[in-house]
Structure 1
Amino acid sequence: MKRLYITLLTTVFAIGLWSCEDDFLNKKSTDLSDDLIWSDPDLAETYLMNLYTSVRLANKEPNKWEGSAGLTRGHHWALFSSISDESIYSNDDQTYLIQTGQLSPSNYGFTSTSWGRNYLGIRECNDALQKIPTLEIDDSKMNELLAEVRFIRAVRYFELLRGFGGVPLIGDRVVQLDDSFDGLYERSTIDETVDYIINELEFAINNLPEQGVQQMGRATAEAAMGFKARTLLYAASPLFGTESSAKWQAAADAAGEIIALGKFDLVDDLDADPAENYRLLFLQGETSEDIFMRHYTQTSRSFPMEKMNAPNGYGGWGGNCPMQNLVDDYEMDNGLAIDEAGSGYDDQNPYVNRDPRFYATVLYNGVEYRGRELETFLPGGLDSPDGNEPWNTSPTGYYLRKFMDETSDLNNYDITGGVTPWRYMRYAEILLSYAEAQNEATGPNTAGIGGLTATEAVNLVRERAGLPLLSGLSQAQLRDKIRNERRVELAFEEHRYYDVRRWMIAMDVENEAAAKVAITRAEDGTLSFDYSQEALTGKSFSEQHYWFPIPIDEITKSNSQLEQNPNYN
């Protein structure tokens, strides 16, 4: 008999994360057969929670002791920021080949598991969808479980869509090795893939519990609405086909429906200082801003994010280090870009009077951190190449602050995994998506579903950040402001890599040099700032890199039936 094995750790992880009050905690874990799992509705539901995570498929992905990889790849080792113009990863881990334009079907580095991981997840979902109807549960519960699995499957397909474009749609098939593979490798168009995802999400919206009823961390109707809005935003973007007002309006309406619910708000009451309020947001449990997130517990901790990203002088490993390119895109607190007349920016005193979100996102020389000032200067800076473990020094002159629990113990690896949630989606993203789509559909000043204009939606985000509100902008001017707001508000949340591609501006921004700051301290303590050096030489982007390449071994396994993305040899 075919057997499905669940290790002790996987079972405890699933139960501890999703069903902390469940009696399963008191059951002895053993290898469980397929028949046993699907004969017990409670056990089957617990098993289904594993569909929110992924197994390790490559080196430098989280192993079973480091919190399984999530539904999307966030919050582990190198972030997607480090294959974009947000950051450089201090220890490479196969990110440099992408940054330097070497991504190819046989040399895909950091992105190597995107295809296989998501199709593995889709197959697991399809298997579950065949088994759920065998459970002895009422129709309402059955539809709820089916909707939850179809939500997860939709997210998997969305990950494929934004990485590869149109992909093979497997439907509900669970293919065995001795089955016919006819039609399995036929790629659907982008529009067909989008339509399939939206159909899955519509079923989820209509059958999932609402937030506040569903267990935290599991799919809700609102989460499905959020992914519908995200999918339609991508579908309306230039990379995904011919632009039209109708596509942009559909994206705006989907985001506007979430706004119209009146259930979500931007968190602004954690601290009177907008910078500290924003910093603390990412250390909270579920808030009024959160639409979908992954939770961790004391017994099921996350990957050690703080250890990976903390400065070397504190015993950290450097990790995802913000580029000067990103730092330069934070406005001054008067709302002007640093290169605008009257901004007040001084490149020899660059960290004063900046967008408050800068202080919550980036660690820079002189900032108070963990009991002392950060020292990235040379010579002698504690967090420079002259400091502790120089191989973990930032290549950019900056370190990551966002998401970091500054009370965590960096010197005890066994407990450095934190309990801070990873936010897959929050209300600020929805407001910015609405602003972008509504602006493209009707311009800056026409209200849509939810009662907001594009300008008003982006201003809600800026107001929470403590920045001046926008007014009187043209459609093109507001477009630029919205794009910059996404850059800084959603920094390191794994949007930027895809945003510059869907906007088709990657040929410009990704071919800019990976800038850094080099700070020299004179004998009298005076600091001088040099921005002429590169954090990583050879940064490069070519047209084919708008899409991931399908790995060559997948093409080979299909007997070359699977069509490769354009311009990859």
Structure 2
Amino acid sequence: MNKMKKIVTILALGLAFATSCSDDFLDKEPTDQLGASTVFEDQSLAQAFLNNIVGQLPAGQYSSPGAGYGNSYLLASISDEARSKSGWVPSNAVVRVGSMNPLDLGGLDIWDDAYTAIRQTNEFLESLEASEFDEEFKTRAAASARYVRAWFYFDLTRRYGDVPLLTAAQSLDDEDLFPSQTPRSDIYTFVNTELTAVAAGLQNKSEAKAGELTKQAAIALNARAMLFAERYADASALANSLISGVENDGLELYGANPASLEEAIKNYGDLFLSTGGNVETVYEILFLPPEKSHQFDRGNWPVRWRNDNGGQTDPTQELVDDFEMSNGLAIEEAGSGYDPANPYAGRDSRFYASIFYHGSEFSEVSPSRGEPFIDMEWNGFNEGPGTVRDGNASITGYLVRKFVDPSLGFAPEGVSNTAWQEIRFAEVLLIFAEAENEVNGPSAAVAEAVNRIRRRAFMPELPAGLSKEDMRDKIKQERRIELVFENHRWFDLIRWDEASTVLNATYHGMKIERNGVPTSGESGPQHVFDPAQLTFTVFEDPAFSNSFPDKYKFLPIPQDEMDANTNLKQNPGY
């Protein structure tokens, strides 16, 4: 809590990113440091300071601003969704090998950043209250700042458990300058109370610019927090107010009623190419290069479309196997139609929009060589794994397709501008379904919430007559697929108390080899995509192993914070 204890008498106003896509998105405030009295005599300066606070909300994209999301890897890579290909990446060097400790949190630490934002929020609120600005501005500004504070307390408590709760600006003579931790349940109560008040002070989504904080964002974050707190009645009621209540304000699934599988694939893929303002988005963080961009495309594109980088996030065979067949059956179920000799045929539409697999077409951009189809052949020295492989190729035989933006052209660098959709309406539906099922069982409303998502995917509806336990499993399955690669899986497995089982495992990839067809070095074709000429073999590799010690259920408190504040108690196991 080093920064938390620093008492700020000067407010630094650097580049303030407004949270909209309006013309003033890139307006820059002076970088000179201004006294607090000066800032709160000028409403535009106070707004710039608020923009700076809101701008600290993290984005979950690869190499995005903000701590706690790995930065050099997607959180998918520390779950059963994917592996990172590079040994130096913290997901490999620290987290998955069970080595996380108070000196190295492997990219998951948010403590310092969170308390910096909280401290600035507390100071802002105190000065705002004493200002003579008009009441409408003060109400809206206070609500926005409190949203940021509530977000960070939610994120702190889901990661670390009990954390200090600071709701007022500190001074050097405060008796509680070195606070002890507040119980996790009390943090969730604070978040719930705060976001309820925040929602009343924010505008509706329909009145806001893309990227701005809204009433719907506050309600949705509150619903998510209450789901984590296992306060299911609250989570259900909050989510339902956004689904069928007066707070819906036009929220809907994007491409809700496709006429075909192909349309469903396109709709789901296009959703994640939005640069802001999608009908499904409840809260998002915008990017506008070169001042603000992320590096997902640089780090994760297939290598023949980059040559210099890419392939960092490699989905596991376990994830691929969990995509149902298009008839709604799991691949292992009788009658599913799954063919291990042609494993990618007839799958859930979201599989094709989320995963690059052998034979996936990527013709919107021309590759540096060969045909515009993903080639995962073993030892083919294209996109695929093997004992001989390009260093930027996949190690599992799969790559992430979700978020890939073909409009950027060959080898995109520092230009990625797709919005990070932190909360989508699909998640709201799933929050409601999970919470309501826990409270009242598998009602028609629960099934309909899930079925709306499945209809958008051109998938069959859930079978009738599910028990509460069966419905719970179906909802978990739907979260796994619908929210894949969106930084939910790690936290979901922990809150479901399944991480110690699911994440203590060795995962698998797919080895694809020619069957009776000469290699290109033997005057054979450069690529082979016909399944009849290939063999598909699931393989295991030591790099796919994963360790999740019980202590990982909560992160360690960073050692420098423990040293600075002796009233803190370290989490068990560290």
| TM-score (norm. length: structure 1) | 0.87
Indicate the residue corresponding to 1:50 in structure 2: 52
Confirm or deny that 1:221 pairs with 2:240: no
CA displacement 1:86-130 (0-9 Å, x = unmatched): 11122242111211222222332121x321121111111112112
Indicate the residue corresponding to 2:241 in structure 1: 257
Give yes or no for contact 1:83–1:99 (8 Å, CA) kept in 2.
Answer: yes
| Residues 1:355 and 1:137: Cα distance change in structure 2 (over 3 Å) | same
SS at match of 1:358: helix
Q: Distance in 2 between matches of 1:412 and 1:230?
A: 34
Which one of the candidate residues 198, 205, 210 is aligned to 1:204? Answer: 198
| Residues 1:386 and 1:322: Cα distance change in structure 2 (over 3 Å) | closer
Q: Distance in 2 between matches of 1:303 and 1:338?
A: 36
Indicate the residue corresponding to 2:548 in structure 1: 541
Which runs of no fewer than 5 residues in structure 1 stay unpaired? 237-246, 447-452
CA displacement 1:75-95 (0-9 Å, x = unmatched): 953111111111112224211
Indicate the residue corresponding to 2:4 in structure 1: none
Q: Which amino acid aligns with 1:404?
A: V
Which one of the candidate residues 563, 566, 569 is aligned to 2:569? Answer: 563
SS at match of 2:23: coil
Give yes or no for contact 2:95–2:106 (8 Å, CA) kept in 1.
Answer: yes
Which one of the candidate residues 20, 23, 32 is aligned to 2:22? Answer: 20
Indicate the residue corresponding to 1:248 in structure 2: 232
Cα offset, 1:19, TM superposition: 6.8
Cα offset, 1:183, TM superposition: 6.6
Greater alpha carbon shift after TM alignment, 525-534 vs 541-550: 525-534
Q: Distance in 2 between matches of 1:4 and 1:388?
A: 54
Q: Distance in 2 between matches of 1:134 and 1:19?
A: 31
Cα offset, 1:140, TM superposition: 2.3
Cα offset, 1:363, TM superposition: 0.4
Confirm or deny that 1:232 pairs with 2:232: no
SS at match of 2:505: coil
Greater alpha carbon shift after TM alignment, 124-133 vs 182-191: 182-191
CA displacement 1:316-357 (0-9 Å, x = unmatched): 421222111111111111111111111111222111111100
Which one of the candidate residues 416, 422, 430 is aligned to 1:424? Answer: 422
Give yes or no for contact 1:516–1:535 (8 Å, CA) kept in 2.
Answer: no
Confirm or deny that 1:140 pairs with 2:136: yes
Indicate the residue corresponding to 1:108 in structure 2: 105
Q: Which amino acid aligns with 1:226?
A: A
Confirm or deny that 1:31 pairs with 2:32: yes
| Residues 1:538 and 1:378: Cα distance change in structure 2 (over 3 Å) | closer
Identity in percent? 32
Indicate the residue corresponding to 2:520 in structure 1: none
Matches within 5 A, 1:97-496: 97-111=94-108, 113-175=109-171, 178-180=172-174, 182=176, 184-236=178-230, 247-259=231-243, 260-261=245-246, 262=248, 263-268=250-255, 272=259, 273-284=263-274, 285-315=276-306, 316-370=309-363, 371=366, 372-384=372-384, 390-411=390-411, 413=413, 416-445=414-443, 453-470=445-462, 471-496=464-489
| Residues 1:73 and 1:402: Cα distance change in structure 2 (over 3 Å) | farther
Would you say how many aligned residue pairs link Structure 1 and Structure 2? 531
Indicate the residue corresponding to 1:79 in structure 2: 74
Greater alpha carbon shift after TM alignment, 493-502 vs 506-515: 506-515
Give yes or no for contact 2:385–2:395 (8 Å, CA) kept in 1.
Answer: no
Give yes or no for contact 1:307–1:410 (8 Å, CA) kept in 2.
Answer: no
Q: Which amino acid aligns with 1:190?
A: R
Q: Distance in 1 between matches of 2:167 and 2:256?
A: 45
Q: Which amino acid aligns with 2:475?
A: I
Q: Which amino acid aligns with 1:398?
A: Y
Aligned CA RMSD, in angstroms, stands at: 2.6
CA displacement 1:200-247 (0-9 Å, x = unmatched): 1011011111112233212111110001100110111xxxxxxxxxx3
Which runs of no fewer than 5 residues in structure 2 stay unpaired? 1-7, 367-371, 518-527
Q: Distance in 1 between matches of 2:207 and 2:235?
A: 27
Give yes or no for contact 2:82–2:316 (8 Å, CA) kept in 1.
Answer: yes
Q: Distance in 2 between matches of 1:19 and 1:343?
A: 46
SS at match of 1:204: helix
Cα offset, 1:270, TM superposition: 9.5
SS at match of 1:532: strand
Which one of the candidate residues 471, 494, 505 is aligned to 1:501? Answer: 494
SS at match of 2:436: helix
Greater alpha carbon shift after TM alignment, 225-234 vs 539-548: 539-548
Cα offset, 1:185, TM superposition: 3.0
Q: Distance in 2 between matches of 1:333 and 1:300?
A: 42
